[in-house]
Chains A and B, each alone.
Chain A
Amino acid sequence: MAGVTRTPTGLTQGSTAPAGIGASTLRPDGTLKVTGEFAYASDMWHEDMLWGHTLRSTVAHAEIVTLDTSEALATPGVYAVLTYDDLPTEVKHYGLEVQDTPVLADGRVRHHGEPVALVAADHPETARRAAAKIKVEYAELPVVTDEASATAEGAPLVHDRRTDHHAAHVPHPNIVHRQPIVRGDADAAAGRADVVVTGDYVFGMQDQAFLGPESGLAVPAEDGGVDLYVATQWLHADLRQIAPVLGLPEEKVRMTLSGVGGAFGGREDLSMQIHGCLLALRTGKPVKIVYNRFESFFGHVHRHPARLHYEHGATKDGRLTHVRCRIVLDGGAYASSSPAVVGNAASLAVGPYVVDDVAIEALALYSNNPPCGAMRGFGAVQACFAYEAQMDKVAAELGMDPVEFRRINAMEQGTVMPTGQPVDSPAPVAELLRRVKAMPLPPEQQWVTTEGADIRALPGGLSNTTHGEDVVRGVGYAVGIKNVGFSEGFDDYSTARVRLEAVGGEPVVTVHTAMAEVGQGGVTVHAQIARTELGVQQVTIHPADTQVGSAGSTSASRQTYMTGGAVKNTCEAVREKVLQRGRERFGAYHPAWATAELLLEGGKVVTDGGEVLADLADVLGEEAVDLELEFRHRPTEPFDLRTGQGRGHVQYSFAAHRAVVEVDTALGLVKVVELACAQDVGKALNPLSVVGQIQGGTTQGLGVAVMEEILVDPATAKVRNPSFTDYLIPTILDTPTIPVDVLELADEAAPYGLRGIGEAPTLSSTPAVLAAIRDATGLELNRTPVRPEHLTGN
């Protein structure tokens, strides 16, 4: 593109060391990222570009009575102001699963911060000030903010006249989706229980808080189309939602992934994509939109807050008899991925335990709260918080050690899930707990030094609130189960294009996928896979774009399995084609071409006995081998809407945590001293990255245990803390040492036996910290995050 600077570039990485799978090769984008040259979405720049700004609703639920843009439009420097009435086609809504989200408010706003109008101007401040001149008169409507208000008699409907495919089976129009799971006979099993323990739990609304704000650059093209550079998690899903609203065929919306500053689920839904394109097409100029942090809190969906009711029964010898539970997730104003989150919460509701008799119900509400959708752990997180609290409670009731009680009930390979689906690959739940418990404990009173207390190691830290007085320690354990990949019958596939050619006498590989690299290291493992499969050192990773087939979403812990699997699959086909060419060209010169098993190693064709038959470059000659193929995991099936039975999941991922905390009981301050994790990863394709994922996921779980929560005023449904001043995420001072024990038990159905790893550590981290705080304080603590007032009783 002429005039575009700072656009994404390909990443080339040569290596002389063994750098195939299993090696901790370094990121190919590492140098660009440490020198500041890596082009993130907010770094995009184009000569003559305009800045877009979004006007958002100041109230949660209202009719728009008047909307006057004239003064904004008359502001010098302003090129366009757009509202719902300016949308160019009949398609004015979008959505991941249900198309219920207006591109701009359709005469009504349903949540605080909903986009109402767009401005394009020659300076971001001009755009902001012009947006402030748009006159919007709201007639406020009553809000629904929880299950009681959403399903009350005469409750206002967040969406009237629903036609989505869940509408017919939900008990109330303000329920997005409901999934029961019934297996065995929970009532009869409850009769066999020696102890029955119930609990009600509350999980707060967590934000993904990725550091790179929603951003992108839309450039109008001469053919009437648009080129969009954007940070997202799934280019092709964006494209499917963008093109119809613009009235363009998909091939005229050319998307390229720009640098993504973290995602964690928060970029699955669209943010600025359609808005930027609309402004670019209207003005005929490139338009850049960059949210600030305040707007980012309104610019993406959050993790569903939840209320969970659980009943567990057990016999005196510590065996679970049954579980009954009800999980109510608040989906907010638009559906986003709520239906899939419900499916996960329901199907994983009892955790990694053997329970034959269950009665489960999970549902998501429509409300006037902020929309909620995907975040790392996706429905399994909320359930894990509750069922692990219950496991501790039952163990205490039985007088058993909580780890021993979990071990007795731990699932293993062959266990049948509440959905009726057997777990057909290793499920080392008891082993992970054993390992995490066996790690040495950090020393008591670790703040004591020869020069007195190091206050930095104490609750309150440099605030100097204690030198050890009123500080008590606690230890807690938790384990969780997460599904990997898209479930419930979704056709989940990834595409990879691999080109092998000789350049200057050396074989080189180019890997082209649409995978969104969001920081997880997919680009690193793609190069490793290509080296392993094709025996070539020089690998170039092409920028991700829509000129190649879909790679699916960078979510559900699926990308190494799926797009990694696609790269492996295409490389294997390329290798076969190369060997075929070798047989044709050189077969006459050596019988081994026909008789031996042939490998590609070190840029050569070799026999399995190690004999070199030819240089790969000679086999290739002038003609590249270039293939693009799709890869699918084994099919799944939907859960039955009444019984929840069905082989809905592809693979499971397991992690266990042990938390050690110190609590200043006088002030209610918590210091997490250590958060040890053991996780089965199947096969660590890049051990350094694997540990990084586990530590990062663990820390997000820590955040929602002790500090992270979006606070929504229940009276107005307005967000009270949309900033990093008021929404706290863990700093390096809040984050403890995170020792990691990695187990590798292969899943035979998966590429290289690997297991998706990104989410599982986010599950068990939170309940482990809560269990440790309970252990330290003796308090019940049925909500997360825990705040000081919950610990001091004030």
Chain B
Amino acid sequence: MRVNITVNGRPQQADDVWEGESLLYVLRERLGLPGSKNACEQGECGSCTVRLDGVPVCSCLVAAGQAEGREVVTVEGLADFAEERAGRGCAAGAPGACGTDPDTARRWQARPAPGSDAQLAPVQQAFIDAGAVQCGFCTPGLLVAADELLERTAEPSDADIREALSGNLCRCTGYEKILDAVRLAAARAAAPTAEQGA
């Protein structure tokens, strides 16, 4: 079958998709977006988390056909997604909840060729700075989930962070640095001028 999905703001088309293929498989193997990870492929680990019309989902549990005509944001588009959101005055972690509705999600577009020198989303930079990345296999899913948390909760408590990220397994860090990273991203959003020197 043919599947049409808007991924990171760009319309994408995949042909010869077998009906049993997951959204994760189509992203990774047909659309050249391997950032979403395949740690369990059974909805337990969260490493494949993407936004589907704004809602964080395990893309391994979404049949590709279910994503037909819908909006997907993956880790590869997270920086542009965050930049576009900030342009609306809704920086992740900014005071006041500021979700992304599907209509808004449809209006933005990723830059043509995001390279490794691309601007990072605040939560991406915070993960690097806080030492929240070791092997990094859980990182893409955690970033999408953490970004969504900060989008709706500007100043999350530790209990809020733990609850929001409880569907994302990490085997390397013991989660302490991940908590640090989310706290850091929230603090930087609250006091952007204090961002330097971390």
Q: A260-B135, A462-B163 are in contact. Are A36 and B174 (CB under 8 A)?
A: no
A35-B76 in contact given A698-B174, A699-B174, A733-B163 (Cβ < 8 Å): yes
Q: How many whole Å from B86's CB to the nearest CB in chain A?
A: 17
Cβ A26 vs Cβ B38 within 8 A: no
Asked if A26 and B39 make an inter-chain contact with CB atoms under 8 angstroms apart, the answer reads no
**Given the contacts A31-B128, A35-B120, A696 and B134 also touching, CB distance less than 8 Å:** yes
Q: Is B143 an interface residue (CB 8 A)?
A: yes
Whether A36 and B33, one on each chain, are in contact in the complex, defined by CB atoms closer than 8 angstroms, is yes
Contact B137 A723 (CB under 8 A): no
Using A211-B170, A456-B163, A462-B163 as known contacts, say yes or no to A35 and B131 having CB atoms under 8 A apart: no
Q: Are A264 and B171 in contact (CB under 8 A)?
A: yes
What band does the interface of chain B fall in when counting residues whose beta carbon is under 8 Å from A? Answer: 35 or more
Residue A772 is within 8 A (CB to CB) of chain B in the complex: no
| Complex alpha-carbon distance, A520 and B166, angstroms | 23
Nearest CB of chain A from residue B75's CB, rounded to whole Å:
4
Q: Which candidate, A38-46, A83-91, A96-104, A402-410, is the interface stretch facing chain B? A: A38-46
Question: CB of A32 within 8 A of chain B?
Answer: yes
A39 CA / B33 CA spacing, docked (Å): 11
Chain A residues with Cβ below 8 Å from B173 are 692, 695-696, 699
A738 to B175: give the CA distance in the assembly, Å.
9
Given contacts A34-B127, A212-B135, A735-B174, contact A40 B37 (CB under 8 A): yes
Contact with B along A690-711 (1 / 0, CB 8 A): 0110011111100000000000
Which residues on the B side are within 8 Å of A38 (C-beta)? Answer: 136
Contact (Cβ within 8 A) A293 B135? no
Q: Does B169 contact A (CB under 8 A)?
A: yes
Is A450 an interface residue, CB under 8 A from the partner?
no
A residues 697-756 in Cβ contact with B at 8 Å: 697-700, 723-725, 729, 731-733, 735, 737-738
CA distance A26 to B134 in the complex (A): 11
Knowing A31-B128, A518-B135 are in contact, say whether A211-B159 is a contact too (CB < 8 A): no
Q: Interface SS of chain A: helix, strand, loop or mixed?
A: loop
The verdict on B42 contacting chain A, using a C-beta distance below 8 Å, is yes
- Are the C-beta atoms of B118 and A262 separated by less than 8 Å? no
Q: Which residue of A lies closest to B45 (CB)?
A: A724
A residues near B134, Cβ cutoff 8 Å: 262, 519-521, 692, 696
B10 within 8 A of A: no
Of all chain A residues, which has the CB nearest B164? A732
Tell me if B139 is interfacial: C-beta within 8 Å of chain A. yes
Write the chain A residue with the least CB distance to B141: A211
Residues of chain A with a CB closer than 8 A to B76's CB: 35-37
**Can you list 25 residue pairs at the A/B interface with Cβ under 8 Å?**
A24-B131, A26-B131, A34-B133, A34-B139, A35-B79, A36-B75, A37-B76, A38-B136, A42-B37, A42-B38, A125-B21, A213-B39, A262-B137, A290-B38, A292-B41, A293-B44, A294-B42, A456-B162, A688-B131, A692-B134, A696-B171, A696-B174, A729-B169, A733-B163, A735-B175
Known: A691-B177, A731-B166. 15 other contacts (CB 8 A): A33-B139, A34-B136, A34-B140, A36-B34, A36-B74, A36-B75, A36-B76, A210-B135, A212-B135, A293-B40, A293-B42, A456-B159, A695-B175, A698-B174, A723-B40
Q: Which residues of A contact B (CB under 8 A)?
A: 6, 24, 26-27, 29-40, 42-43, 45, 123, 125, 208-213, 259-264, 290, 292-294, 454, 456-457, 462, 518-521, 688-689, 691-692, 695-700, 723-725, 729, 731-733, 735, 737-738
Interface residues of B (CB under 8 A from A): 18, 20-21, 28-29, 33-42, 44-45, 47, 74-76, 78-79, 114, 116, 118, 120, 124-125, 127-129, 131, 133-140, 143, 159, 161-163, 165-179
For the complex of A and B, 6 pairs with smallest distance between CB atoms: A36-B35, A519-B135, A261-B137, A33-B136, A695-B174, A724-B44
